[in-house]
Structure 1
């Protein structure tokens, strides 16, 4: 029995054996679509030349990589569907190779989640002339050729026996050499594990599998409330209560390095400097991607203990504050709240239609402020309003600010930032920081315009950004290996005179605190501290305001 329709014996003889097609595809993927892998592997092995058994290690690593790909292709090369799956792997590998080689992006689990959960406009920004051309030439065209090549498969039992042999050989390539190298290989693997994040198509397949396993197919956990004992301090009945409002601005992709309040040469924070904001110069993110940092910063877990599925099934700071009696509202102009605002009132303005602020590519961040006075007036006291801005989201930095904020020139007027000079990319990025400063200034001005309200504002970014340093762009690298540009973030606070006097806030104390280490670990407890929330989950040592009140 032959598992393939064959119109004629002549055509069958001309057909390419299935194993041969698989071998050709394997060579193509390894040689053409894994240039980044071989470059990284060469550098890693070059750094290990002094160790004993270097050449054996080199052979071992190559055997493991080849065995991995051979095993993958052997498992997909089945009659009727084999060619289609091979073609799909080529396209996936080509797309992965383009973004890895061009932007230095690594396809880890968090980047895969970002791909699945990104907004349409942001996804479209990544589709450029360069990416389409490259993927068409090195992905789609070879995939079409694979689909057009006539292939013949062996009879069923013979095919199964040969497939078993191939799988065993691939498994041996992956397992036997590492066992022979022992601790030498274990050491190398542990220190260079990230090379698998640029190994195509392994990186995309592995990242997708783990994302689906963790966030899609995993059994939903029962929601666990925390801080159910949370209460607000009693008000003095002898004094007319003043309305109390906190505005938290969650930034996007802003790095500390480009903030003039951090010491940057360009004046990117003029309005916050004028407002007298307290800037925390040693602040760090929980992750290098929104999908990690936003859930992490609002959870009561520190970065060292953060577990996304656990955080997703537990209340966060917004839930605890709402339970205590704070009027909480979330407004979004970015990638969504990553389930953080799932149980509080919220609105999504990413697809709003506001003249002068929105177009087919989305809205600039001032859309969040168009009705800010009215929104604040509707909220009862005490209130927390969260504004999730698009900030400096790349690579289309030039689309993140109105033309009036195109101050630093010449900029990079394309999403293909790798085609711009470093100076141009930085100029456009600095304009996004300047515009974010304007957004914060608008918030402060709105709060100042209501002197009968005790108000405060806090701003911090979700993570930073690489702009081409070390040939790395964007963000999403593993925390341990990510450059500081992706982890060192801006964080600042502003308080109205009424807030300072009515709460006894000592600004000189906070000004001393601002040079000490801070991170997104502090946000949960600082938000509780803003409102004097009393609960067993509150840790004063993680509250940035603790010790500076009264």
Structure 2
């Protein structure tokens, strides 16, 4: 009886229609979404029940609100988009259920790069059933529905009330967002139709950024043939406050505190999130423009440049030797390969294999990124106990949370020590190691966690960062500067490698 009414010619109010559409979208296409939720959540606990209810309510209300706005603008456009969504959803859910895929940006890229022969191999009778029952049948209701739209006054009232409800609901469930943030990639890849819609946009945005022509800097000149190497380590969420090198009461730097020729500078980041922080580290001056970044610039000017990463968020890197964790894993041995130690796999050997006199190696780490700090280091580096093992940081004591974070700093200390050990063995090279973090981190101070607040209101914990420098004996001397910035990196590297450039700024170099 209900289905007969749905496909009848009876008129239906827009608000009722979008609620039905949202409900159908929820019921037909989100079994994989909630399977993932229940498999990664203690759904019998109060917190688990709260998160499930939050996800259900928000999914129903937000989808209905988006459809309401679209249909209010144009019924024809709304129907076309809804039919398209149902058809694509049915195919997407088929692949999710059949192959356990996540519709993230990389998967969208795979789909767009699949040729006919590959795509036709996935054709099956089961796929047709999905398209018919999950795509075509709901679309019949959409096409046949005679929708009565609201007048402007009612539209404004309903829209305003819905926005207020969404804002209040999100604020009331703020404690659940850390769990959602942890699994945001997986949840986003299973939420239909926004998984492929958003990631399709992201794919083309990033594609455009990759193809965007950099503003090239003036050519540089290598002034001598002396063998020199700089290892630039980009830290993730490392705040200087928790380094014993900066006066922290706990010994989080057992190796570096005993290392000769080690120097520290007070420093601040120019942002509180990774993409902007890394951009500042690599650019010659602060700008919204896409100027040629340090690795690209040096590579173009005949320096051997190697980029190794377990992270993401850097500007487009245009070099030959770009190495991901998966690539480094092939030659890595031991438990450390599951952590950032993978970045120093055969590091010394790669330097010695270089045929050029000037070398820059960039290691982009992820060691101190929350919320699961206790998962960022091997078990033997759990120096401070007890630790917070929950993604819900507010449920941990301050001691547990700080202990877990401090252990990531202890592990960072060890990795930097290993790098310095490798460089010390390169007797024929003038060597330097620079460690600079992309931004800091909040650990419950003022009831704030992690990072990302606008700089205008961000606390010091989110932008006070370590700037640690080691140099080999008889190499460049450092200036007695009090405070450094992320922009000091670009000019300091040029100075150390004896590279002359019109953009070089002596005031932004830490070396004499």
Fold shared, TM-score > 0.5 on shorter chain? yes
Q: For the residues of structure 1 that align with 2:201 and 2:412, how far apart are their CA atoms?
A: 35
Instruction: Note the C-alpha offset of 1:407.
Output: 0.4
1:327 aligns with 2:304: yes
Q: Provide the TM-score with structure 1 as the length reference.
A: 0.61
Distance 1:172 1:301 in 2: 48
CA contact (8 A) 1:319 1:344 kept: no
Partner of 1:530: 496
Query: Are 1:487 and 2:463 an aligned pair?
Result: yes
Is 2:387–2:404's contact at 8 Å kept on the other side of the alignment?
yes
| Distance of 1:387 and 1:474 partners within structure 2 | 22
Structure 1 pair 219/265, CA: closer, same or farther in 2 (3 Å)? Answer: closer
Distance change in 2, residues 1:217/1:326 (3 Å): closer
Q: What is residue 376 of structure 1 aligned with on the other side?
A: 351
Partner Cα separation in structure 2 for residue 365 and residue 374 of structure 1: 18
State whether residues 398 and 413 of structure 1, in contact with CA within 8 Å, keep that contact through their aligned partners in structure 2.
yes
Question: What displacement does 1:494 show?
Answer: 0.9
Q: Would the aligned equivalents of 2:82 and 2:139 in 1 still touch at CA under 8 Å?
A: no
Alignment CA distance shift 1:149-1:212 (3 Å): closer
Residue matched to 2:234: 250
What is the match of residue 232 of structure 1?
Answer: 222
Q: Which residue number corresponds to residue 396 of structure 2?
A: 420
Return the offset for 1:433: 0.4
CA distance in 2 between counterparts of 1:427 and 1:10 reads: 58
Structure 1 position 292, deviation (Å): 2.1
Three-state SS of the structure 2 residue aligned to 1:270 is: coil
Per-residue CA shift, 1:314-364, capped at 9, x if unaligned?
A: 421122222333222112222374423x22422112462534236xxx721
Structure 1 residue 357 and structure 2 residue 323: aligned? Answer: no
Q: Distance in 2 between matches of 1:67 and 1:151?
A: 22
Q: Show the counterpart of 1:402.
A: 378
State the shift of 1:377 in Å.
Answer: 1.0
Q: Which runs of 5+ in 1 are unaligned?
A: 27-31, 38-65, 89-114, 119-147, 176-194, 236-240
**Matching of residues 88-237 of structure 1 within 5 Å:** 159=147, 162-163=148-149, 165-166=150-151, 170=155, 215=206, 220-228=211-219, 230-234=220-224
CA displacement 1:9-57 (0-9 Å, x = unmatched): 598599974423547999xxxxx869xx9xxxxxxxxxxxxxxxxxxxx
How big is the shift at 1:544? 2.4
Query: Following TM superposition, by how much is the alpha carbon of 1:215 offset from its aligned partner in structure 2, in angstroms?
Result: 4.0
SS at match of 1:248: strand
Q: Is the 8 A contact 1:398 1:411 kept in 2?
A: yes
Q: Is the 8 A contact 1:333 1:368 kept in 2?
A: yes
TM-score with structure 2 setting the length: 0.65
Deviations 1:153-175 (A, max 9, x none): 7987x73xx43x55675469999
* Residue in structure 2 matching 1:339, options 312, 316, 320: 316
**Conserved? CA contact 2:439–2:463, under 8 Å:** yes
- Show CA shifts across 1:442-499 (max 9, x none): 1112222233322111110111222233333222333333332222211111111131
> How far apart in 1 are the matches of 2:153 and 2:283?
46
State the Cα distance separating 1:531 from its structure 2 match.
1.7
Question: Contact conserved, 2:7 with 2:140, CA < 8 A, in 1?
Answer: no
Aligned length in residues: 401
Secondary structure of the structure 2 residue equivalent to 1:253: coil
- Equivalent in the alignment of 1:122: none
Q: What secondary structure is seen at the aligned counterpart in 2 of 1:71?
A: helix
Deviations 1:404-433 (A, max 9, x none): 210000011243433322221111110000
Aligned CA distance change for structure 1 residues 208 and 377 (closer, same or farther; 3 Å):
closer
Q: Compared with structure 1, are the counterparts of its residues 74 and 11 closer, same or farther at alpha carbon in structure 2 (3 Å cutoff)?
A: closer
Q: 1:315 aligns with which of 292, 296, 310?
A: 292
Structure 2 CA distance for partners of 1:365 and 1:6, relative to 1, 3 Å: closer
Provide the secondary structure at the position in 2 that maps to 1:497. Answer: coil
* C-alpha RMSD over aligned residues: 4.6
Candidates 234, 243, 252, aligned match of 1:268: 252
**Aligned counterpart, 2:133:** none
